[in-house]
Amino acid sequence: MSELKPDIARLQAYDDDAWLSVEREYSGRLLAYVAKRVKDREAREDVLQETMLGAVRGIAGYDPTYTFEQYLFGICHNRTIDHLRRRRLSTLDHEDEDQSRFGIEARATDEETPSRVVRGQDLETQARSLLARLLRSWVQETWAEGEFTRLMVIEALLHGGWRNKDTWQRFGLRDETSVAGIKFRALARLRELAQTEDPSGKLLSAIASGAESGEASLDMSLEQVWRDARVSCPARHWLARSVVGSLPEGPREYVRFHAEEMACPWCAANLEDLRQSTSAGELEALVERVQASTLRYLRSRARG
């Protein structure tokens, strides 16, 4: 997550200062994401510029189910693919996997969405948002309690699709029943949170069925929302502390697990940005060029 919390209303009003702040905050990490896929420096800068312009053009339809950073990375992902296709280059590594992670412009199909949890298309958006809040609340609680092994186990199951056998061995648990117990308690807690946040019970039955068995609810619905909503991505200041080596053991191990073993592309780009060796002067010049094109678009909107 970014330290900056953009004012969406100001962005939708095409406020110059709000957009310039966004570009200054996010350009480095977006460029780091593109750099892993596009080798040519000028082309990377073009993709970044197209990303920012795409964000301005699309902001009126911004979906608050997603974080603003996810909105930007979704556009960046698609602009990167467009660039590679235009030049007849090979498809991005793990494109299908990324498509499931970046959910703004490359939206998931109906069968991959929480419509499998809450029946009826009219409830789909509400269910996605609610389930993301429940999962995020559980992650925040677990982090605050210092239960990082528990958090990594659930992330391995939901994000990584690991089997119980692989999971208990990786984390040095007693056996597979230990994994099942962690899963059961997590689902039970989700059920409690749902009772508080969803008094109508529209989502409760789906979570309850998994809580009763310890198995049924760990399906693509939870997995998809876990990834799309980035419920477990550490805040940027935690990533920064991991880079300088000032994190305690628990958070440090989780950040490493999340970024490396789960291969989260969002956090990988953030970490690369934090570690990046590009001089401040070069990045500053790039940001100024991107901002100039954005300002031209914003002013054309104002005249219109």
List pLDDT tens digits, range 104-158.
443 333 443 333 333 444 456 667 778 888 899 999 999 999 999 999 999 999 9
- pLDDT at res. 150: 96
- pLDDT band per the 50, 70, 90 thresholds, residue 218: very low
CB 232 within 8 A of CB 143: no
- In whole angstroms, give the CA distance from residue 81 to residue 234: 26
- In whole angstroms, give the CA distance from residue 258 to residue 182: 18
pLDDT digits (tens, 9 = 90+) for 196-211: 877 766 555 544 444 4
- The mean of the pLDDT values for the chain is 77
- In whole angstroms, give the CA distance from residue 177 to residue 282: 53
Residues 183 and 99 in one domain: no
Q: What percent of the residues of the chain are helix, what percent strand, and what percent coil, each to the nearest 5?
A: 70, 0, 30
- pLDDT at res. 201: 67
Residue 280: pLDDT over 90 = no
- pLDDT band per the 50, 70, 90 thresholds, residue 40: confident
Give residue for tokens 């299908």. Answer: 96
Picking from 259, 221, 206, the residue whose alpha carbon sits closest to that of residue 100 is: 221
- pLDDT at res. 202: 59
More confident of the two residues 47 and 202: 47
Residues 151 and 177 in one domain: yes
Based on the structure, what is the number of domains in the chain?
A: 2
What is the rounded average pLDDT of the residues 243-264?
Answer: 92
What is the rounded average pLDDT of the residues 219-225?
Answer: 68
State how far the alpha carbon of 12 is from the alpha carbons of 28, 164, 273, 293, in Å. Answer: 23, 45, 27, 17
Does any domain span residue 240?
no
280: amino acid identity, one letter: A
- pLDDT at res. 211: 40
Least confident of 155-164, 267-276, 285-294: 285-294
Does any domain span residue 260?
no
- In whole angstroms, give the CA distance from residue 266 to residue 224: 15
The domain of 142 spans 113-229
Residues 47 and 125 in one domain: no
More confident of the two residues 89 and 295: 295
Residues 46 and 89 in one domain: yes
Residues 193 and 96 in one domain: no
What is the rounded average pLDDT of the residues 263-273?
Answer: 89
Give residue for tokens 């109508």. Answer: 200
CB 101 within 8 A of CB 265: yes
- pLDDT at res. 198: 72
Residues 85 and 15 in one domain: yes
- pLDDT at res. 139: 95
Residues 118 and 222 in one domain: yes
Give residue for tokens 């929302």. Answer: 225
Residue 93: pLDDT over 50 = no
